[in-house]
Amino acid sequence: MKILGIETSCDETGVAIFDEEKGLIANQLYSQIEMHADYGGVVPELASRDHIRKTLPLIDAALKEANLTAKDIDGIAYTAGPGLVGALLVGATIARSLAYAWQVPALGVHHMEGHLLAPMLEDNPPPFPFVALLISGGHTQLVKVDGVGQYELLGESIDDAAGEAFDKTGKLLGLDYPAGVAVSKLAEQGTPNRFIFPRPMTDRPGLDFSFSGLKTFAANTINANLNAEGNLDEQTRCDIAHAFQQAVVDTIIIKCKRALQQTGYKRLVMAGGVSANKQLRADLAEMMKNLKGEVFYPRPQFCTDNGAMIAYTGFLRLKHGEHTDLSVSVKPRWAMTDLPEIA
Ligand code: KG4
Ligand code: ZN
């Protein structure tokens, strides 16, 4: 079985082909990041228009990469939500139309389930059950995972997602959107403990997160440390980035440890854009070593949005006999816990 996967939920057009026997046989990605950088964030209408331009050429490129033609494809998976409605509609319309023309089943895939299952594409995939930490630009969630579709939400952010906090704080530090990687680069040059940011919601029980206060704390710290010219000197910029990143990382680690203790599970799976963060990976590895557990993550290119995770997730569900009807419908808001279980 060969499944074509299409991802268009936000600012990346991803197309990939997953083959039941050979695994991932094509992976194409076009990032719109440069186009949105001038505006300081994703402009939904521009995102939709660009997905229209890029999706079909990327499908052609993926078929070519895998040395296949349309006749070899057995099913199509597309991101149906959550995400930007216009962007989702582009992928859904193209996927549905091709499925109709090619006479194959199609299925709308949940973007966060795609992120959650992305580590399964690696050589050492995590066995069930595990705790998943999903940290992207739009989501911060801790999920108890007992199998595909067997999800229990343990906690989530009550305001900004972790990636959003990186992006907003990065903007205050004068960095372009999306600022996650750039903040972590500045943080590498930072002096530890010159500034101490709060670890929000760690002093009370529970597994929810709150990151919006960190951006305010960053704004206040910046204002209090401007030099005579009204700017931040370079070292202070790095020190603030360092203090911010350490606060996010420590907070996430405290909550992950709690989630593992609460479930009694020994395996942690981390996915979503922020899981590419080096400090977070290093500190989590250390914590898991102390707990005698194991941590799994996708390769960096599959931490951020991509078509491979959608092709793979679609493959699991289409193989199981699931598909959706011919209408083009998307779900900009969609709880992962509503997904059906695969026995
Ligand atoms: O999963 P993703 O590609 O898109 C969403 O579904 O949101 O995640 C993008 C987010 C952005 O907020 C970006 O700044 C953040 O992930 N990010 C990082 C790093 N790489 C990407 N944040 C911190 N450190 C990184 N190395
Ligand atoms: Zn994502």
Q: What percent of the chain has pLDDT over 70?
A: 100
Q: How many angstroms is it from 12 CA to the middle of ligand 1?
A: 12
Report the pLDDT value the prediction gives residue 136, as an integer from 0 to 100: 94
Give the atom of ligand 1 at the shortest distance from the alpha carbon of 137. 7
Among the bound ligands, name the one nearest to the CA of residue 309: 2
CB within 6 Å of ligand 1 — which residues?
Answer: 10, 136-138, 163, 166-167, 178-181, 184, 272-274, 276-277, 304-305
What pLDDT score was predicted for residue 335? 95
pLDDT at 62 over 80: yes
* pTM of the model as a whole: 0.95
CA dist 246 to 138, 211, 279, 280, Å? 20, 13, 8, 8
> How high is the pLDDT of residue 321?
96
Beta bridge partners of 145: 130, 151
Q: Are 18 and 315 in contact (CB under 8 A)?
A: yes
pLDDT tens digits, residue range 129-181?
Answer: 999 999 999 999 999 999 999 999 999 999 999 999 999 999 999 999 999 99
Q: Counting ligands in written order, which one lies closest to the CA of residue 42?
A: 1
The Cα angle at residue 172 between residues 170 and 176, in degrees rounded to 5? 45
Per-residue pLDDT tens digits for 111-123? 999 999 999 999 9
> What is the distance in A from the centroid of ligand 2 to the CA of 14?
11
For 141-158, letters b (16+ CB in 10 Å) and e give: bbbbbeebbbbeebbebe
Give the helix, strand, coil percentages of the chain, each rounded to 5.
45, 20, 35
**If you average pLDDT over residues 195-200, what whole number do you get?**
97
- pLDDT above 90 covers a percentage of the chain that reads 97
Q: How far apart are CA 124 and CA 137, in angstroms?
A: 26
Whole-number Å distance between alpha carbons of 31 and 12: 5
Residue 52's alpha-carbon distances to 37, 47, 86, 88, 336, in angstroms, are 19, 9, 10, 11, 27
Among 84, 171, 304, 336, name the best residue to mutate to test ligand 1's pocket (greatest count of ligand atoms within 8 A of Cβ): 304
- Nearest-atom index, ligand 1, CA of 177: 14
| Ligand positioned closest to the Cα atom of 304 | 1
First to last CA, the chain: 19
Which candidate, 66, 80, 63, places its Cα nearest to that of 23? 66
pLDDT of residue 168: 96
CA contacts within 13 A on the Cβ side of 265: 23
Nearest CA to ligand 1 atom 23: 180
CA of 14 to the centre of ligand 1 (A): 16
Residue recorded with tokens 């082909």: 17
Neighbours of 44 (CB within 10 A): 16
Residue 306 token pair: 């991509």
**DSSP tag of 60:** H
Which protein residue's CA is at the shortest distance from atom 26 of ligand 1?
277
- The secondary structure of 103-132 as a DSSP string is T--EEEEEHHHHHHHGGGGSSSPPPSSEEE
Cα 271 to middle of ligand 1, angstroms: 10
Distance 221 CA to ligand 2 centre (A): 30
- Atom 8 of ligand 1 has which residue's CA nearest to it? 273
- CA nearest ligand 1 atom 7, residue: 137
Model confidence over 85-106: pLDDT tens digits?
999 999 999 999 999 999 999 9
Query: Is residue 38 very low, low, confident or very high in pLDDT (cuts 50, 70, 90)?
Result: confident
Question: pLDDT value at position 275?
Answer: 94
Nearest CA owner, ligand 1 atom 22: 180
81-101 burial, b if ≥16 CB within 10 A, otherwise e? bbbbebbbbbbbbbbbebbee
Amino acid at 322: E
Q: Burial, 71: exposed, middle or buried (Cβ in 10 Å; 0-12, 13-18, 19+)?
A: exposed
pLDDT tens digits, 180-194: 999 999 999 999 999
Judged against a pLDDT cut of 80, whether residue 343 lies above it is answered with: no
For a substitution probing ligand 1, which of 113, 115, 274, 306 has the most ligand atoms within 8 Å of its CB? 274
Interval 306-321 mean pLDDT: 98
Specify whether the CB–CB gap between 209 and 260 falls below 8 A: no
Say which residues have a Cβ less than 8 Å from residue 25's Cβ, sequence separation at least 6: 2, 17, 18, 19, 65, 66, 68
Which atom of ligand 1 is nearest to 272's Cα?
1
Q: How far apart (Å, rounded) are the C-alpha atoms in residues 137 and 314?
A: 22
Q: Which atom of ligand 1 is nearest to the CA of 83?
A: 6
CB burial string 6-33: b at 16+ within 10 A, e below: bbbbbbbbbbbbbbeeeebbbbbbbebe
Q: What is the token pair recorded at 188?
A: 């590498």
Give the pLDDT band of residue 40 (cuts 50, 70, 90). confident
